[in-house]
A and B are shown apart, each in its own frame.
Chain A
Amino acid sequence: MALNVRNEQALHSARIHPSPWMIVWVAIRSHKGALVGAGVFAFIILAVTIGPILYTVDPQVPDVSIRNLSPSLAHPFGTDNLGRDMLAQVLSGGRIAIAVGFTAMVLSLVVGTAVGVLAGYFKWLDGPLMRLTDLFLALPLLPLLLVIIMLFRDTLRAAFGPEMGIFFLIVFVIGITSWMQTARIVRGETLAVKEREFVLAATSVGTSGMRIVFRHILPNILSPVMVSATLGIANAIITESTLSFLGLGFPPDFPTWGRLLFDGANFISITPVRVLWPGLAISLTVLSINYIGDALRDAVDPRVRNE
Chain B
Amino acid sequence: MLKYLSRRLLFAIPTLIAISFVLFALLDLAPSDPTGSLPITIPPEVRQEIRESLGLDEPFLIRYVKWMNQFFINEPLNLIDKILDPNDTTPSSRLRVLSWQQRSPVVDLIVERIPQTLWVVGFSYLVGILIALPIGVISAYKQYSWFDQIGTFISMVGFSVPTFFTGILAITIFSVALSWLPSVYDTTHEVTDFSSLWFQIKQMAMPVLVLAFYNAAQLSRFMRASVLENLNLDYVRTARAKGLKDRAILIGHILRNSMIPVVTMIALGVPTIFGGAIVTEQIFRVNGLGALLIDGIQAADIPLVQTLTFVFAVLIVLFNLVADVLYGILDPRIRYS
B293→A138 contact, CB < 8 A: no
Q: List 27 A-B contacts (CB under 8 A).
A: A135-B18, A138-B320, A139-B19, A142-B275, A143-B275, A144-B23, A144-B309, A146-B278, A147-B305, A150-B32, A151-B27, A151-B32, A241-B162, A241-B164, A245-B164, A247-B298, A265-B168, A268-B168, A269-B176, A272-B176, A279-B161, A283-B160, A283-B165, A287-B156, A287-B157, A287-B161, A290-B160
The interface bits of chain A over 27-60 (1 if a CB of B lies within 8 angstroms of the residue's CB, else 0) are: 0000001000000000000000000000000000
A268 to chain B, nearest CB (A): 5
Residue contact A282 to B162, C-beta cutoff 8 Å: yes
Q: Is B184 an interface residue (CB 8 A)?
A: no
Complex contact A146–B294 (CB within 8 A): yes
With A139-B19, A261-B164, A283-B165 known to touch, is A246 a contact of B294 (CB < 8 Å)? yes
The reply to whether A147 and B27 contact each other, CB–CB distance below 8 Å, is yes
Say yes or no: B168 contacts A279, CB within 8 Å.
yes
User: How far does the alpha carbon of A248 sit from the alpha carbon of B159 in the complex, in Å?
Assistant: 23
Give Cα A70–Cα B154 distance, bound, in whole angstroms: 29
Scan residues 112-164 of chain A and give those whose CB is less than 8 A from a CB of chain B: 134-135, 137-144, 146-148, 150-152, 154-155
Apart from A138-B320, A287-B157: 14 A-B pairs, beta carbons within 8 A: A139-B22, A140-B312, A147-B26, A147-B309, A151-B32, A245-B279, A246-B282, A268-B171, A268-B176, A269-B176, A275-B169, A279-B169, A282-B161, A283-B165
Chain A window 277-289, contacts with chain B (Cβ cutoff 8 Å), 1 for yes, 0 for no: 0010011001100
Partner of B172, one of A148, A151, A275: A275
> Is A242 part of the contact surface with B, judged by Cβ < 8 Å?
yes
When the two chains form the complex, which single residue of A148, A234, A246, A264 contacts B160, counting CB atoms closer than 8 Å?
A: A234
Assess whether A150 is in contact with B313, with CB atoms less than 8 Å apart: no
Report if B120 contacts A (CB, 8 A).
no
Q: Which residue of A lies closest to B157 (CB)?
A: A287
Residues of B within 8 A of A241 (CB): 162, 164
Interface of A is mostly: helix
Assuming the contacts A146-B294, A272-B177, A287-B156, asked whether A246 and B278 have C-beta atoms less than 8 A apart, the reply is: yes
A156 CB to closest chain B CB, in angstroms?
A: 10
- Asked if A238 is at the interface of the complex by the 8 Å CB criterion, the answer is yes
Whole-angstrom CA separation of A193 from B81 in the bound complex: 58
Q: How many A-B residue pairs have CB under 8 A?
A: 126
| Distance (whole angstroms) from the CB of B173 to the closest CB of chain A | 9
Is A147 in contact with B279, judged by CB distance below 8 angstroms? no
Range, interface on chain B? 35 or more
- Is B308 an interface position by the 8 A CB rule? yes
Q: Smallest CB-CB separation from A234: which chain B residue?
A: B160
What separation, in Å, do the CA atoms of A265 and B18 have in the docked complex? Answer: 39
CB-CB nearest in chain B for A134 = B15
A250 at the interface (CB under 8 A from B): no
**Minimum CB–CB distance for A141 against chain B, Å:** 7
A144 to B297 alpha-carbon distance, docked (Å): 10
A291 is an interface residue with CB less than 8 A from chain B = yes
Q: Which residues of B contact A140 (CB under 8 A)?
A: 271, 274-275, 309, 312-313, 315-316
Inter-chain contacts of B111 with A (CB < 8 A) = none
Q: A150-B32, A279-B168 are in contact. Are A138 and B27 (CB under 8 A)?
A: no
Contacts of A291 in B (CB 8 A): 156
Chain B residues with CB under 8 A of A283: 157, 160-162, 165
* Cβ–Cβ < 8 Å partners of B156 in chain A: 33, 287, 290-291, 294
What residue of chain B has the Cβ atom nearest to residue A154's Cβ?
B32
A150 to B26, CA, bound (A): 12
A143's contact among B22, B171, B278, by CB below 8 Å, is which?
A: B278
* Chain B, residue nearest A279 (CB): B165
In the bound complex, do residue B279 and residue A242 qualify as a contact, i.e. CB atoms below 8 Å apart?
yes
Chain A contacts with B in 241-270, Cβ cutoff 8 A: 241-242, 245-248, 258, 261, 264-265, 268-269
Kindly supply a per-residue 1/0 record for chain B positions 262-294, scoring 1 wherever the CB is within 8 Å of any chain A CB and 0 otherwise: 000000000100110011001100000000011
State whether A138 and B297 are in contact (beta carbons under 8 Å apart), knowing that A151-B31, A242-B164, A287-B156 are contacts in the complex: no
A276 to B23, CA, bound (A): 37
B317 at interface, CB cutoff 8 A: yes
Is B300 an interface residue, CB under 8 A from the partner? yes
Chain A residues with Cβ below 8 Å from B23 are 144
Complex contacts, B316 vs chain A, CB 8 Å? 137-140
